[in-house]
Amino acid sequence: MHRILRYAVVFIICSAVPLALHAGEIYGFIIQQNGSPLAKASIELHCGGEPIRGTTAPDGTYRINVPQQGPCKLVLPNNSGASADVVSYPNPSQYNLQLVNNQLQRR
Amino acid sequence: MPQEEPPTDSPKSAPSAQSSSPPKDRSDLWVEIGKVVGMPLAALILGFIFNYTLSKAQARDNDMRLYTEMMGRREQADSDLRKDMFKAVLDKFMSNDSANMKPLEKLDQQILELELLAYNFHESLDIGPLFKRIHKQVMKVTGPEGEAMRVRLEDLAQEVKEQQLNALTGMERYGRDNVDPRQAVKPQLVVKVPLPTVDNPQGNILWGPLRTEPQFLAGTPTLYCLYLDKSNSFRIYRQFKLDFTHYSLTRREVEVWLMVSRPLSKEDCNKEVFNPLTTEVETRFWVGLFAFPMIDNTRLSEGERFAVSLNPMSEAQPLQARLAYFPESRASLKDKPYYDEILRRLSVEQGQ
């Protein structure tokens, strides 16, 4: 029983280390319905734990480092909570979005 | 009273007619002389000028042909020599002839061969992979020998990059109005990239219990408005936005997120903000010490290129990245223009 527990602990550690080593990144730009950049807007990434916060640049571009991989939700809390489903991979993932009728759509 | 006689063509006028006939004869005579002498003389002069011009043009053509032939022969001889040299060096590089040599001697010889390749073929061959391979081997060598080899290799790469950048840069101009025109020409576009150091661990976000590799760089993007002077005085303004996103401590490389706009008006280019909808090229790539701008560059429309290369790395100072924006005529010999671009350019020139 102890041996199985030991193997389980080793397995969990081994599988957790690569996730820590290969943090993902979500990046891209967000524009408004009229095509102008969504400048200095707050962004939240909900990936299961505490939300990861960021802000868009004056040109609407954003870049957020994500500690874990997997499906996340990108939310604009100050824009009626408009959201889009995104996925964090080991390599940076690009999501160019447009805010249309308080909905985030991929471009 | 005697009546006045009406004026008639009296014989009074006859003497005047008789007196005007000799000058007419003289002018006829001169015309005749002109016909007899002048025409052949003019033909002679014209013929002489024509012959002179023709012979001069022929002599010039002959000189040009001779010069072209000489240059062609010299080029051919040079190409043959370089081909033989390239084959000899590369064969030696790839072969295992030096199996009896000590590892350090073998590495030293490989660096020498790479130096030959780098100095002679850096414009036509991507030597980056060879640099990376030898650098990887050198990094395994400990002690002063390994350090000396690393410095020698990195200095060589830097020297080649300097040569290429000297050929490539200096043509780009800053498009912003607030730049003094006398200082608008800058041979070097340099971006300082702050790197995380042991002394400044808070400079970047570290996630989890382990320090991430590569590390996330939360720097400020840099925006440039640049243009190149075309031969027909036509200017193409572009915005360049560079964001350094990651830094790999182990590979000693940085990742760049590059966005280049399509050709813009001067007013749009001078805006303080990059409009993502005007993007022509968007790319993310890693730049290391062995990225050579003449070969390793980003292709833009209108026969233009853009390259990012790194200055020597040091943990003690911010990393310096040098940018080069240049026409395709300055690109490497292996970089050929697309056929459709050539055809489009020809059709535009014919339209003018």
Do A60 and B276 touch, CB atoms closer than 8 A? yes
pLDDT for B24 = 67
Distance CA B154, CA B234 (A): 40
Pick the residue with more confidence: B333 or B258?
B258
Q: Which of A20, A35, A57 comes nearest B277 by C-beta? A: A35
B218-232 tens-digit pLDDT: 878 889 898 887 766
Distance CA B302, CA B325 (A): 12
Distance CA B282, CA B298 (A): 10
Give chain B positions within 8 Å (CB) of A22: 212
**Would the pTM count as exceeding 0.80?**
no
Distance CA B17, CA B35 (A): 27
Q: For strands A103-106 and A42-46, give the pairing.
A: unpaired
* Mean local confidence (pLDDT), B82-94: 78
Nearest residue of A to residue B241 by CA position? A59
Assign B87 a pLDDT band (cuts: 50, 70, 90): confident
B130-144 tens-digit pLDDT: 999 999 899 888 889
Count of beta carbons in the 10 Å neighbourhood of residue A8:
10
Q: Is the pLDDT of residue A14 over 50?
A: no
A18-74 tens-digit pLDDT: 444 456 899 999 999 999 999 999 999 999 889 999 999 999 999 998 888 899 999
Q: Is the pLDDT of residue B280 over 80?
A: yes
Give chain A positions within 8 Å (CB) of B241: 59, 61
Q: Is the pLDDT of residue B117 over 70?
A: yes
Show the beta-strand stretches assigned E in chain A. 24-31, 42-46, 52-55, 61-66, 70-76, 82-88, 93-94, 97-100, 103-106
pLDDT for B313 = 72
**Residue B119: which residues within 8 A CB-CB, separation 6 or more?**
B160
What is the amino acid identity at position B251? Answer: R
B235-272 tens-digit pLDDT: 889 999 999 998 887 778 889 999 999 999 989 998 88
Q: What percent of chain B stands above pLDDT 70?
A: 78
Domains, chain A: 24-106 (2.60.40.10)
Question: Nearest C-alpha of chain B: how many angstroms from A78?
Answer: 22
Question: Nearest C-alpha of chain A: how many angstroms from B144?
Answer: 32
pLDDT for B176 = 64
Q: Which of B212, B241, B245 comes nearest A63 by C-beta? A: B245
Give chain B positions within 8 Å (CB) of A58: 272-273
**What are the φ/ψ torsions at residue B109 (nearest 5 degrees)?**
-65, -40
Do B226 and B175 touch, CB atoms closer than 8 A? yes
Interface contact flag, A20 B212, Cβ < 8 Å: yes
Q: Is the pLDDT of residue B67 over 60?
A: yes
Interface contact flag, A25 B273, Cβ < 8 Å: no
Distance CA B9, CA B18 (A): 14
pLDDT for B23 = 62
Q: What is the mean pLDDT of chain B?
A: 79
Assign B344 a pLDDT band (cuts: 50, 70, 90): confident
Looking at mean pLDDT, say which of B38-42, B256-260, B341-345 comes out highest.
B256-260
Q: What percent of chain B stands above pLDDT 90?
A: 24
Interface contact flag, A92 B276, Cβ < 8 Å: no
Structure tokens at B328: 């395709």
Pick the residue with more confidence: B152 or B220?
B152
pLDDT for B203 = 43
Assign B193 a pLDDT band (cuts: 50, 70, 90): confident
Q: Which residue of A19, A50, A65 is the best one to mutate when testing the B interface, meaning the one whose CB has the most B CBs within 10 A?
A: A65
> Is A32 touching B (CB cutoff 8 A)?
no
H helices of A1-107, where? 2-21
* Mean local confidence (pLDDT), B187-216: 59
Do B172 and B189 touch, CB atoms closer than 8 A? yes
pLDDT for A93 = 92
**Residue B98: which residues within 8 A CB-CB, separation 6 or more?**
B105, B106, B109
Q: Where are the domains of chain B?
A: 73-168, 171-352
